[in-house]
Amino acid sequence: ASPAQKLVFNRVNGKRPQVLLPQISAPEECYTLAHEENVRFIYEAWQQVEQQLDSSRSGESTCGPVQYVEKTPNPGLKNFVPIDLEEWWGQQFLAKIQNCS
């Protein structure tokens, strides 16, 4: 019996500790290596943007990304709440564990 493979999520900015999650094989969800590379690339790029935004807000940097804010917000989006992807993935992971038990 070989040991279970683990998914490793590394934070670029070091704000949270490394998380090791056991991989659950789910035939309905099959991720290719290219998909995982794309997700990793986007995640790491977004972490860099967030870090640069944080440093520009605290006055550490005079240049960097600029956060777009609409001058006249769309009234249809008044109650819009963005999704917390980390929370969503955590819920999906826990649901898979509960369904496998």
Position 68, amino acid: Y
Residue 61, C-beta contacts closer than 8 angstroms, at least 6 positions apart: 52, 55
Q: Residue 11 is encoded by which pair of tokens? A: 């934070």
**pLDDT tens-digit profile of 31-67?**
788 999 999 999 999 999 888 888 877 776 667 777 7
pTM: 0.38
